[in-house]
Every structure is written in C-alpha cells, then in structure tokens.
Structure 1
Amino acid sequence: MPWCTRSEIREVSNEAQKIHDDIRHGQLLIHAHAHDGHTTVAVGTYLGRNGKSVYLHGEDHLRQVADTFDSPAGALLAFEKVHRAEMRPGPAPLTDTERAAAQTRTPLALTAAKPEPARPETQTVPAYLANADDHDALLDTFLDAHGAWEKWRTFSDDTTHAIHESQTLRIERVHEAHPRETAWTVAAYETPVSDRMWHLTATGTTPAPVLQTLLHHLADGDRWDTAIGSPITDKTVTAATKPLTDAGWQHTVDGRWLRWTNASQDAGVQFDAFAAQNPNSPLATWTVWAGPSINQPTWAACASVYTPANLLADLAEELAHGTGTRPARAAQDRHTKESVSSLPAAPIQGPSTRPRH
C-alpha cells in the first residue's frame, strides 16, 4: 500500500483485523471461498437477525469488504457467477501469517511423563444417562467413514463445519460451547442456496449414543429429506413418538405441550403445538431431554417443525431402548451431582435463530 498515508494504512489494517476477529469468533460465517488468480476471495454472512452478507477480497492485513448483499442467497449466486470454477465450500485454509498467530496462542505441551490414571469401572445405563464422551472424536469418526461429507474448520479452530456433497445438509460443531448451550446444529436446505427447511440442535452434554444415532441417520442419504415440509399432523406426531408409546412411556397433555416421559421422570420428549403452527417462531417444536426436569435438563436436543419424523423416531427409539456406559460411581451419584452442580441454571436452548445460510 505505498500510495496510502500512515493513517490510511492503519485504517485498512484495523478493518482487516476486525474481519479476521469476526470470523475467528464465529460472528461471520464463511459460505465459500476461491482464488481469483491474485488473492483469496470469499463470501459470508454476519450472524444475527439482521445480519448482512458480504464479499471479501484479500488476505491478512489487506482483507476488506468489497461488496454487500441483502441475503446469503444473493451473495452466493453473485459469487458463483464470477468464481464458479474455483469456488470451494467453507472458509479458505489459514494463511502462513494466520497459522503462525494461531501457534503462538497454543500453550506449550507438558513434556513431563505422567502415569496413566486408572480406568474407572463402568456400568451399562440407558442411553439418556450415558457419558457424552468425546464429541470431536465422534464427528471425526463419522467423517472418516463417510466420504460424501467434507470437513471445514473456522479460522479460530473453535468451530467445525461438515457439509454433504449435495450442499443441502450441513453440520456445525462448536468445540468449546458451554455444556448447556448449543454445541451441534444440523440444518437441511432444499437447494444449496435456498432457505433452511429444518434444523436440530444439541447441547455439549448430549450422550454419545444419542449423537451416534443422529449421525447414523444423517449418513443414510435415503432417509433424510430436504424438501419443503408439510404442515405437521397427528399422524406425524404419532410416527415420531411411536417408540416411546410402545415402550409404555407416560403421555400427558399440558395446554399446548404434549409430553412423553419415562417412569422415573428423568427423560422425555416434548412437542409444542403452538410452535408447530408458527414455523417462523424461534421456539423449538420438539425437545428431547434428560435430567432433573425439562426446565433444567442435563442435556437437550431441540428440533424445528419440519424435522423428519423418522429422524425423531430414531432418537425416540434410542431413548426408549438404547444403552451406553458411564463410570459406575457417576451413575450411582448422578442425582446428587446434578443438585450441587456448579453449572448455572439456564433455559433450554431452542433451535438456532441464525440466518438460514
């Protein structure tokens, strides 16, 4: 930038740093990137109800917003028109400068050898009481086994995006989410540039067997549907909850809420009839949960109105009949630990209200 004054150089660099920080902290979601022959270009959307979509040009301290759009669909169409041949989904790989900066933030690994801790005894428990295990390892195993999915990391490495080759089904995994906040978001689209059709979220404490059931369903391309949903009916609700009914779970009606709970009242599924009749509402139509109560769950998964009934039925089947493992003492003391947990009480996180791309 030899033609710029000192203050102009500072202004350009500050703007580039802000863009970098927005990407790193997950405030700016990058949909696709390309190389125009000289530098990296990208298209993304700022998260939030009124988030704008932007066309980015340049790398490191020269990155800048070159254009803005009213919607993600418009931004993607314009980007694809210019960069169709070079266009790739997700953010671009880290530059040398960004990689070096990330490495400086990584604490030095401890070199002292430590004895391996004794493995605690485990016992088999219902799936909804099982350990969460390593969610990142679950996602990596899923991606390694299914070549139709491609993995993308954000600049800050605190979020992973997994995108199906059709680009109509996407997974977002937030690695350092608060245990009671959304750590997983699955979203389906009718086309790569259409509005979101349905979505499902899960908290960071969701048991491994439940997540494995979800991922297994997503791996079966003949079973998930990204077509425009139809109004939900009694038949849809019956199909989604049949495994719970067959297992004898208690069915109650409380105003607009239909609930199915197990005998010990520490796991269940809730259907919100009001949310089902208002598809644009941020409220969750379906909530799958376990813990002291639905208002203070140990973990929860929330789904929007058009979430496929067969996916919900798979999760219900896992709740009713699935099993997993957890340390024996933790299983025995779970009620005591939950009552004195240092985690602050928080409302159930409904489906993501982020922009639909």
Structure 2
Amino acid sequence: MPAYAAAPGDHDAVLDEFLAAHSDWEKWRTWSDNTTHAIHESQTLRIEHVHEVHPRETAWTVAAYETPVSDRLWHLTATGSTPAPVLQTLLDLLADGDSWDIPIGNPARAETVASATKPLTDAGWKSTLHGSLIRWTSPSEDAGVQFNASAAQNPNSPSPTWTVWAGATIDHPTRALSASPCTPDPVIAELATELTHSPVIRRQPAPAAPTSPRFQADRHH
C-alpha cells in the first residue's frame, strides 16, 4: 500500500515525537487547548497543528519567515486525514534541511517545476496540461500533484501554487497538501518522493504458534 493511501494515524503523537527529538523547537498551546504551536529557536520557522478537525479540513500549517517579524516567505498546509508517514517526512525535512535557508526561486520557471516534480517523472507518472494547470497523476489515478502557473505568478491568489492530493479526484480528494508560491523545490520534491517511493506495509497479526501436546501437558505442572 502506498504511503498516501495509509490511515492518518496519530497526528498528536507525530508532533510529540518530533518535538521530543528536537530541542531547538519550543511548544505551546492556545488558551482553548485546541491548537499546538511549535516554533524553531530562530523564530523563522513555525508549525501550527489544530486538533480534532474534520479529516478534509486544514489541520497543519507550516510557515517560513525571513526574520521573526517579516512577512511569510512561504507556507504549506495539510488536511486532518494526511497519513502520518507523509507528516513525518515533512517534519523531518524541516528539522534536517534548514528549509528556511533553501534557495527560493521563481516558482513559475520551467526549471523550478521540473526540479520539484522530478521524482514523479522518474516514476513514470503521467503529466497533463489543463490551461494554466499541470497535473501529474499516479498510474492508479488515485493520487497526484498539481502546479498552478497562474497562482504562482500572483502572490495574492486564493488558489495554491502546489497541490499534493490523494483520493477519488483532485476536486474531491480524501487528503491534500497545499503550498504557496516560493515554497522551496526540495520541499515539493520530497513530498513527491513520498508519494512514489514509500510503501506502507499493512502488518497482519502473527499466527499463533502451534502448541505441542507435550507443551500443553508441561503447562499444567
């Protein structure tokens, strides 16, 4: 089973494990106790996790800033049904890659799009053009990545520049991640890699070992 088709798992546990492993992040919760914020010690990278949301509503927001008081450089959101392995990949990338220092280019450049989607083309995912939209779809047609060239050129566009989705169609996804213009290529490429190369094994309960008559007799002594 591919990672994008896995069950959401325990999102709270994913964040708790991340924070326990990275002392350079600080955690605090809102007065209503419904939202957890995690802020890097530089205060230029922040994570917001909303608890107990509808599976198709935004549960996670990651935002990067040039300085603690500047406007956002880029941001990414994920729905409540996002599988735990995908979230772990995203958080590990933030911790390991100093993502706020990744060079940010023009998202509308062909080279930028090609770099971000290379894992998809390498895996043989089919790409199609729909006006200003470019879509890469899995062979099973139950997952994909969309690049919106029009949104990429308009920072004030309400539409995301990148959409990573899984489900029936992109218009009715089961789960989705959305990214703004200037989201670094490696972030999108890493998520694309998670779609194409990270199977999740459904573990079946181990069969009970047969009990020999002698062992059964010994247990009574």
Q: 1:190: which partner in 2?
A: 66
The counterpart of 1:263, out of the listed 118, 125, 139, is 139
Displacement of 1:131 in angstroms is: 1.4
Give ranges in structure 2 of 5+ residues lacking alignment: 205-221
Displacement of 1:326 in angstroms is: 5.0
The counterpart of 2:106, out of the listed 225, 228, 231, is 231
Q: 2:119: which partner in 1?
A: 243
Alpha-carbon separation, structure 1, partners of 2:102 and 2:69: 13
Alpha-carbon separation, structure 2, partners of 1:173 and 1:325: 27
Displacement of 1:284 in angstroms is: 0.3
Q: 1:295: which partner in 2?
A: 171
SS of equivalent to 1:161: strand
The counterpart of 1:319, out of the listed 192, 195, 199, is 195
The more displaced of 170-179 and 224-233 is 224-233
**Does 1:133 find its partner at 2:5?**
no
Q: Contact between 2:80 and 2:175, CA under 8 Å: does it hold in 1?
A: yes
Q: Contact between 1:188 and 1:226, CA under 8 Å: does it hold in 2?
A: no
SS of equivalent to 1:160: strand
> What TM-score results when the alignment is normalised by the length of structure 2?
0.88
* 2:121 maps to amino acid: T
Cα–Cα, structure 1 residues 276 and 139, in superposed 2: closer, same or farther, change >3 Å? same
Q: Contact between 1:161 and 1:173, CA under 8 Å: does it hold in 2?
A: yes
Larger radius of gyration, structure 1 or 2? 1
The 5 Å alignment of 1:22-171 reads 125-171=1-47
Displacement of 1:229 in angstroms is: 4.1
Alpha-carbon separation, structure 2, partners of 1:186 and 1:226: 15
Larger RCO of the pair (alpha carbons < 8 Å, separation 6+): 2
> What TM-score results when the alignment is normalised by the length of structure 1?
0.55
Displacement of 1:145 in angstroms is: 0.2
Alpha-carbon separation, structure 2, partners of 1:209 and 1:312: 15
Alpha-carbon separation, structure 1, partners of 2:139 and 2:71: 40
Alpha-carbon separation, structure 2, partners of 1:192 and 1:269: 31
Alpha-carbon separation, structure 2, partners of 1:174 and 1:214: 16
Alpha-carbon separation, structure 1, partners of 2:101 and 2:162: 18
Q: Contact between 2:102 and 2:184, CA under 8 Å: does it hold in 1?
A: no
Q: 1:20: which partner in 2?
A: none
Superposed CA deviations along residues 70-128 of structure 1, whole A, max 9, x for unmatched, are xxxxxxxxxxxxxxxxxxxxxxxxxxxxxxxxxxxxxxxxxxxxxxxxxxxxxxx1111
The 5 Å alignment of 1:210-221 reads 210-221=86-97
**Count of residue pairs brought into register by the alignment:** 203
* 2:16 maps to amino acid: D
Q: Contact between 1:153 and 1:161, CA under 8 Å: does it hold in 2?
A: yes
Cα–Cα, structure 1 residues 305 and 131, in superposed 2: closer, same or farther, change >3 Å? same
Alpha-carbon separation, structure 1, partners of 2:183 and 2:196: 20
Displacement of 1:187 in angstroms is: 0.3
Q: 1:343: which partner in 2?
A: none
Cα–Cα, structure 1 residues 227 and 321, in superposed 2: closer, same or farther, change >3 Å? closer
**Does 1:207 find its partner at 2:99?**
no
Alpha-carbon separation, structure 2, partners of 1:264 and 1:228: 34
Q: 1:66: which partner in 2?
A: none
Alpha-carbon separation, structure 1, partners of 2:93 and 2:28: 21
Displacement of 1:282 in angstroms is: 2.1
